[in-house]
């Protein structure tokens, strides 16, 4: 893995506390937010965040599981993917 | 901005809505160093080698899935054709070898292992013949073993003795697995010009010119291409070709990145990315629907071959730009049972076996996952194979046949395999006999390579 940046996407109905819920997990896992955007994808609320892992003990699976749990709490879909998948697909 | 929201959302949508996936990561393992005249020692050798090489394959592929958020649907293994690796064993059949492959596959957690195979395009050795004759039992007594036989080649011609023999073996395999809709035949494919590095089943084997151990990946995405075409507003065929190319490019880039990550983590050489539009029974994830998106009322009507030619070529062009290691079959698959659009076309009377044969002249493989009546004779099956081999040999391309003579079923019935294999309506075959032609045997010579009109 070349970088330690991940793209976190939150897709679903906007409700109070989503941003707080997601950012709390990021802070717990030592993930620094380097970009955060909101947009609509076919009328569905979408939040995109780019996070950089600072902690050396970071375990991706645990982070993803925690995010899935937060997603279930707020009834939204949360994905955590390494940035390379987006870079590779769209950029030469 | 280093990543735009549109780019991120496009990728996410491909996975969420359009069934984008890496269809398979297949580890090719050479078994050439496992040979031994005692079949028990040979079996022990191959078991240890396969389990040793592939023990971390599934776990590693799953970790890469998590990293990138792209599903890797199947983790598989291909091995040196068993007819070559086991030839020194003088046992009358190789069923115990198939059982060993099955056991090794279960041990490492892969869902299929390919390579119960023989390459007999010009002639059969004694070992080749024993392997071919072992296929029905081997496939009926194992769960995860896949078998393939190369019957023809552009530089060898068509081995009609082997074609005749395989007609019988396909029938026997169907009979031995009759209680499960003849599913054994779904794990058996015959080829002309079989590729050495194909990661897709049932035809995967680790060719003799390959390295000790390699990782090949099969990337799919008919759903992504279908959605991309349907978003275009009144496109010309040139626009359609361009859109398919771009989409194939993106899919291939993603597949290559993930496959390289798997191979790097395993410390195994990276082989090829096979960019093949492999449909699944899921709605929209259909090659037939892509052809229909171009303006055909139903797949199988006049114009289908032209539309498929455009699709297959554009997929190859996009894939070849995206990766320097494109290999395997690379193009569009047209299996019937695995594609909801193909099934519908057959049921509506739009798509016949004859039209499918014409389509195989321009698709990446051949007559695939087609159910025919259970009372179809072995010689008719051999004759269908011979036709398909001729198309491959003359056009210097891979062609294949995976037919299911569904025991006890007739035209109008269907067979149910479930999962990615789907279900297949039983299709009509010609009532006229080909028996005398097949009985002649021998070899159809290799074709002339000039005077190409």
**Residue A89 is nearest to which of B5, B9, B253, comparing CB atoms?**
B253
Tell me the pLDDT tens digit for each residue of B199-229. 999 999 999 999 999 999 999 889 999 999 9
Neighbours of A66 (CB within 10 A): 18
Indicate yes or no: CB of B3 within 8 angstroms of CB of A61: no
Indicate yes or no: CB of A89 within 8 angstroms of CB of B68: no
Residues of B in contact with A8 (CB under 8 A): none
Same domain, B222 and B167: no
Indicate yes or no: CB of A89 within 8 angstroms of CB of B11: yes
> In the predicted model, what is the mean pLDDT of residues A3-13?
91
> What is the rounded distance in angstroms from the CA atom of residue B162 to the CA atom of residue B151?
6
Q: Is B253 within 8 Å of chain A by CB?
A: yes
Same domain, B228 and B156: no
DSSP helix/strand/coil, A4: coil
Tell me the pLDDT tens digit for each residue of A77-90. 999 999 999 998 98
- pLDDT of B61 above 80: yes
> In the predicted model, what is the mean pLDDT of residues B416-433?
92
> In the predicted model, what is the mean pLDDT of residues B254-264?
94
Closest CA to B385 of B351, B416, B360, B415: B360
Same domain, B152 and B250: no
- pLDDT of A41 above 80: no
CATH number of the domain to which B50 belongs: 3.20.70.20
Retrieve residue B410's tokens.
Answer: 């007739």
Q: Is residue B340 part of a domain?
A: yes
**Residue A39 is nearest to which of B5, B16, B70, comparing CB atoms?**
B5
Considering only A9-23, A60-74, B144-158, B262-276, which range has the smallest mean pLDDT? A9-23
- pLDDT of B432 above 80: yes
Interface confidence (ipTM) of the complex: 0.91
| Least Cα separation, residue B313 to chain A (angstroms) | 21
Same domain, B267 and B175: no
Report the chain B residue with the minimal C-alpha distance to residue A46. B9
Same domain, B227 and B169: no
> What is the rounded distance in angstroms from the CA atom of residue B277 to the CA atom of residue B314?
11
Q: Is residue B388 part of a domain?
A: yes
How many A/B residue pairs have CB atoms within 8 Å?
65
Indicate yes or no: CB of B3 within 8 angstroms of CB of A50: yes
Token look-up 């959605």 returns B227
Same domain, B366 and B231: yes
What would the DSSP string read from start to end of A28-43? HTTEEEEEEEEEEETT
DSSP helix/strand/coil, B96: helix
Confidence class for position A92, pLDDT limits 50, 70, 90? confident
Whole-number mean pLDDT of chain B? 95
- pLDDT of B129 above 80: yes
Same domain, B140 and B84: yes
Q: Which of B154, B175, B192 is the last residue of a domain?
A: B192
Domain carrying residue B315? 218-444
The reported pLDDT for the residue numbered B311 is: 97
Q: Is B12 within 8 Å of chain A by CB?
A: yes
Indicate yes or no: CB of A87 within 8 angstroms of CB of B11: no
Indicate yes or no: CB of A50 within 8 angstroms of CB of B5: no
Whole-number mean pLDDT of chain A? 90
Q: Is residue B86 part of a domain?
A: yes
Same domain, B229 and B90: no
- Please count the structural domains in chain B: 2
What would the DSSP string read from start to end of B131-192? HHHHHHHHHHS-SSEEEEEEEEETTTEEEHHHHHHHHHHHHHHHHHTGGGTTGGGGGEEEEE
Report the chain A residue with the minimal C-alpha distance to residue B249. A89
Confidence class for position B420, pLDDT limits 50, 70, 90? confident
What residues contact residue B320 under an 8 Å CB cut-off, 6+ apart?
B326
**Residue A37 is nearest to which of B5, B10, B69, comparing CB atoms?**
B5
> In the predicted model, what is the mean pLDDT of residues B101-120?
98
Residues of B in contact with A86 (CB under 8 A): 3, 7-8, 11
Retrieve residue B388's tokens.
Answer: 């398909």
Q: Is B228 within 8 Å of chain A by CB?
A: no
Reading phi first (left if > 0) and then psi (alpha if -120 to 50, else beta), residue A88 is in: alpha
Closest CA to A42 of B9, B221, B247: B9
Report the chain B residue with the minimal C-alpha distance to residue A47. B5
B104 vs B421, more confident: B104
> In the predicted model, what is the mean pLDDT of residues B97-115?
98
Burial class of residue B444 (count of CB atoms within 10 Å of its CB; 0-12, 13-18, 19+): middle
Bridge partners (DSSP) of residue A65 are: none
Report the chain B residue with the minimal C-alpha distance to residue A1. B261
Indicate yes or no: CB of A39 within 8 angstroms of CB of B253: no
Same domain, B125 and B266: no
Same domain, B173 and B236: no
Question: What percent of chain B clears pLDDT 70, i.e. is strictly above it?
Answer: 100
- pLDDT of B85 above 80: yes
| Least Cα separation, residue B247 to chain A (angstroms) | 10
- pLDDT of A1 above 60: no
Same domain, B246 and B177: no
Confidence class for position B450, pLDDT limits 50, 70, 90? confident
Q: Is residue B176 part of a domain?
A: yes
The reported pLDDT for the residue numbered A2 is: 64
The reported pLDDT for the residue numbered B453 is: 82
Neighbours of B1 (CB within 10 A): 7
Q: Describe chain A by its helix, strand, coil percentages, rounded to 5.
A: 35, 40, 25
- pLDDT of B435 above 60: yes
The reported pLDDT for the residue numbered B1 is: 53
For B153, phi then psi, to 5°, come to: -155, 155
Q: Is B89 within 8 Å of chain A by CB?
A: no
| Least Cα separation, residue B426 to chain A (angstroms) | 40
Q: Is residue B7 part of a domain?
A: no
Report the chain A residue with the minimal C-alpha distance to residue B5. A48
| Least Cα separation, residue B326 to chain A (angstroms) | 16
Indicate yes or no: CB of B67 within 8 angstroms of CB of A1: yes
Contact B297, B242 (CB under 8 A): no
Tell me the pLDDT tens digit for each residue of B348-398. 999 999 999 999 999 989 999 999 999 999 999 999 999 999 999 999 999
The reported pLDDT for the residue numbered B381 is: 98
- pLDDT of A68 above 80: yes
Q: Is residue B77 part of a domain?
A: yes
Same domain, B154 and B223: no
Indicate yes or no: CB of A87 within 8 angstroms of CB of B68: no
């Amino acid at each position: 893995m070349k970088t330690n940046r991940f793209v976190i996407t939150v897709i679903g109905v906007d409700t109070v506390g989503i941003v707080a819920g997601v950012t709390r997990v990021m802070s717990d896992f030592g993930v620094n937010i380097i970009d955060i955007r909101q947009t609509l994808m076919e009328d569905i609320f979408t939040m995109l965040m780019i996070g950089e892992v600072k902690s050396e003990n970071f375990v991706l699976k645990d982070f993803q599981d925690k995010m899935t749990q937060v997603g279930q709490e707020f009834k939204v879909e949360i994905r955590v993917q390494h940035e390379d998948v987006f870079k590779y697909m769209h950029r030469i | 901005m280093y990543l735009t929201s549109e780019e991120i959302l496009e990728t996410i949508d491909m996975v969420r809505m359009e069934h984008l996936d890496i269809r398979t990561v297949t580890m090719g393992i050479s078994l050439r160093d496992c040979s031994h005249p005692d079949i028990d020692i040979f079996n022990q050798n191959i078991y240890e080698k396969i389990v040793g090489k592939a023990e971390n394959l599934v776990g590693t592929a799953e970790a890469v899935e998590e990293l990138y958020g792209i599903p890797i649907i199947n983790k598989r293994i291909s091995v040196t054709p068993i007819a070559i690796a086991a030839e020194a064993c003088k046992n009358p059949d190789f069923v115990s070898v198939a059982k060993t492959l099955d056991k090794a596959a279960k041990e490492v957690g892969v869902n299929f292992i390919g390579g119960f195979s023989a390459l007999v395009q010009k002639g059969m050795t004694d070992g080749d013949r024993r392997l071919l004759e072992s296929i029905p039992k081997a496939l009926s007594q194992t769960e995860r073993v896949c078998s393939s036989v190369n019957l023809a080649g552009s530089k060898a011609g068509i081995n009609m003795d082997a074609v005749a023999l395989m007609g019988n073996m396909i029938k026997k395999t169907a009979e031995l697995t009759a209680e499960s809709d003849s599913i054994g035949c779904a794990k058996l494919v015959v080829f002309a010009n079989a590729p050495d590095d194909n990661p897709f089943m049932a035809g995967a084997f680790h060719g003799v010119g390959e390295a000790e151990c390699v990782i090949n990946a099969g990337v799919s995405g008919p759903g992504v291409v279908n959605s991309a075409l349907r978003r275009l507003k009144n496109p010309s065929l040139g626009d359609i070709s361009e859109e398919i190319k771009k989409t194939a490019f993106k899919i291939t880039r993603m597949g290559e990145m993930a496959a390289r990550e798997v191979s790097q983590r395993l410390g195994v050489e990276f082989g090829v990315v096979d960019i093949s539009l492999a449909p699944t029974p899921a709605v929209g994830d259909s090659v037939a629907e892509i052809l229909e998106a171009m303006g055909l009322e139903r797949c199988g009507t006049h114009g289908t071959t032209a539309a498929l030619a455009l699709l297959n070529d554009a997929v190859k062009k996009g894939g070849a730009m995206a990766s320097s290691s494109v290999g395997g079959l690379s193009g569009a698959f047209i299996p019937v049972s695995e594609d909801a659009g193909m099934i519908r076309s057959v049921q509506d009377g739009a798509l016949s076996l004859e039209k499918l044969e014409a389509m195989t002249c321009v698709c990446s493989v051949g007559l695939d996952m087609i159910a025919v009546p259970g009372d179809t004779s072995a010689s008719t099956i051999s004759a269908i194979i011979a036709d398909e081999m001729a198309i491959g040999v003359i056009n210097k391309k891979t062609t294949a046949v995976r037919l299911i003579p569904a025991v006890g079923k007739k035209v109008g019935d269907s067979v149910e395999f479930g999962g990615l294999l789907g279900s297949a309506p039983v299709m009509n075959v010609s009532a006229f006999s080909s028996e005398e032609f097949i009985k002649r045997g021998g070899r159809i010579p290799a074709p002339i390579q000039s005077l190409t009109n």
